[in-house]
Amino acid sequence: MTAVDVAIVGGGAVGAACARAAALRGLEVAIFEPGPDPAAASPASAGMLAAQIEPLDDVLIGLSVRGRDLYEPLAPALQETTGIDIGFWRAGIASVAFDDQTADRLKEDVARQRQAGLRCDWLDGGEVRERWPGAAPECLGALFAPEDGAVDPQAVARACLADARRLGAAFQPEKIERLQIANGRTTGVISPRGVTAAEHVVIAAGVWSPQIASLPRPLAVEPLRGQMAATAWPDGTPPAILYHEQGYVLARGVDAVLGSTMERAGFSAAVTNEGLAQIFRGAVRLLPALVRQAVARTWAGLRPVTPDGRPILGRDPELAGLWYATGHGRNGILLAALTGEIIADLLTTGETNVDIAPLGADRFNP
């Protein structure tokens, strides 16, 4: 293959979004993706856009709200250019409290978010049950973020890849083994089929990012397993996304998607009885009508997590031409579109209007 402007290593949601955004700016792009690996995060994800729900720091809240809001224009744009519906659904997420301590914490969170100008409400237990009859009968109330929602994560990756290819990006079903480096800069990528010369290389290989040989630094990205299950959504309950610390349940079409565990299990994407027991216990507490539903599917994937929960985003501080878009942890679908925009801005102008200083690759391994 001839030289390209940018080689993207990994075609999960993050790599796909980077490829699309770069191709939209007129760059010649090649995406390298041998799989997806059966343990990949994107196909396993719940796809929640939980910008105001997951316990995040202020840096991540800012990024997440911005990332979530990008889906509003992205969904119709992808539908128009690729015909793929990414299932963007902005019906709000309720984070439910079953005890006083959690209720107090969530009420404080509501106040803090409102002060920051975000839409956020406290619903008491009665209001929760009125909105979603049958839900969380023992709950004391819920933080409700009306602008949060969900997408179909597989459709997001598929649509971004399709759009990137429509814009001229080449898809290479190859595993990248190492970088090619010459005169202090990245000059391409090497797969078992040979070298592809590239002016820029973007590392977007999820939990496998640190395994790419000749990276100039160790990447502090580790796998955190998440197990999931799906059953039919119970008749008579309006579709919802209900969340609490031990689990969540969301409506996707006729399915109820139940999640998830957070386990250090190396690179194993096995589904275990213990994991499923935790998921079912949590989901049934949120929506008791699930208890008699047949289990339709179970699966697991590996979240690429960093020690501080923030992604690694931006240039390598020393090796010119090398960029990182990895370590998105629990919120990589939420942050995929924004990551694509940031990377594409950096590749084309060297700048971004998002503050990525707290996301540097050298914060763990200076």
Ligand X SMILES: Cc1cc2nc3c(=O)[nH]c(=O)nc-3n(C[C@H](O)[C@H](O)[C@H](O)COP(=O)(O)OP(=O)(O)OC[C@H]3O[C@@H](n4cnc5c(N)ncnc54)[C@H](O)[C@@H]3O)c2cc1C
Contacting residues toward ligand X, per CB under 6 A: 9-15, 32-37, 40-42, 44-48, 175-176, 204-206, 208, 212, 226, 228, 259-260, 301, 303-304, 326, 328-334
3-state secondary structure of 158: helix
Joined together, the tokens standing for residue 318 give 């020393």
**Letter for the amino acid at 103?**
A
Secondary structure of 6-39 in the HEC alphabet? EEEECCCHHHHHHHHHHHHCCCCEEEECCCCCCC
Shortest distance in whole angstroms from residue 163 CB to ligand X: 16
Closer to ligand X by CB, 30 or 290: give it: 30
In the complex with ligand X, the residue whose CB is nearer, 114 or 297, is 297
Within the chain, strands assigned E span: 4-9, 29-32, 48-49, 93-97, 121-124, 141-145, 149-150, 170-172, 178-182, 185-191, 194-203, 222-232, 241-244, 247-252, 255-259, 295-305, 312-315, 322-326
Q: Quick one: 139 or 337, whose CB is closer to ligand X?
A: 337
CB atoms within 10 A of CB 34: 14
Q: Which of 331, 362, 349, 361 is nearest to 14 (CA)?
A: 331
* Phi then psi dihedrals of residue 326, to 5 deg: -150, 175
Closest of 86, 92, 145, 140 to residue 114, by C-alpha? 145
Q: How far is the CB of 80 from ligand X (least distance, A)?
A: 24
Supply the minimum distance, in Å, between the C-beta of residue 260 and ligand X. Answer: 4
Closest to ligand X by CB, 103 vs 286, is 286
Q: Vertex 86, ends 81 and 91: CA angle to 5°? A: 130
Kindly state the helix (H) or strand (E) to which residue 318 belongs, with its residue range. none
* Least CB distance to ligand X at residue 317 (A): 21
Task: Please report how close the Cβ of residue 302 comes to ligand X at its closest, in angstroms.
Answer: 6
- The residue among 24 and 202 lying less far from ligand X, judged by its C-beta, is 202
**Is the CB of 237 or the CB of 326 nearer to ligand X?**
326
Q: Which is nearer to ligand X, 125 or 340 (CB)?
A: 340
Considering the complex, what minimum distance in angstroms separates the CB of residue 36 from ligand X?
Answer: 3
Nearer CB in complex with ligand X: 192/350? 192
Instruction: Provide the minimum distance between the beta carbon of 125 and ligand X in the complex, in angstroms, as a whole number.
Output: 25
To the nearest whole angstrom, how small is the minimum distance from the Cβ of residue 315 to ligand X?
18
**Measured from the CB atom, is 141 or 332 closer to ligand X?**
332
Closest approach of ligand X to the CB of residue 189, in Å: 8
Neighbours of 297 (CB within 10 A): 11
Q: Got the DSSP string for 168-215?
A: TPEEE-----EEEEETTEEEEEEETTEEEEEEEEEE--GGGGGGSBT-
Q: Which residue in the shown chain puts its C-beta closest to ligand X?
A: 332
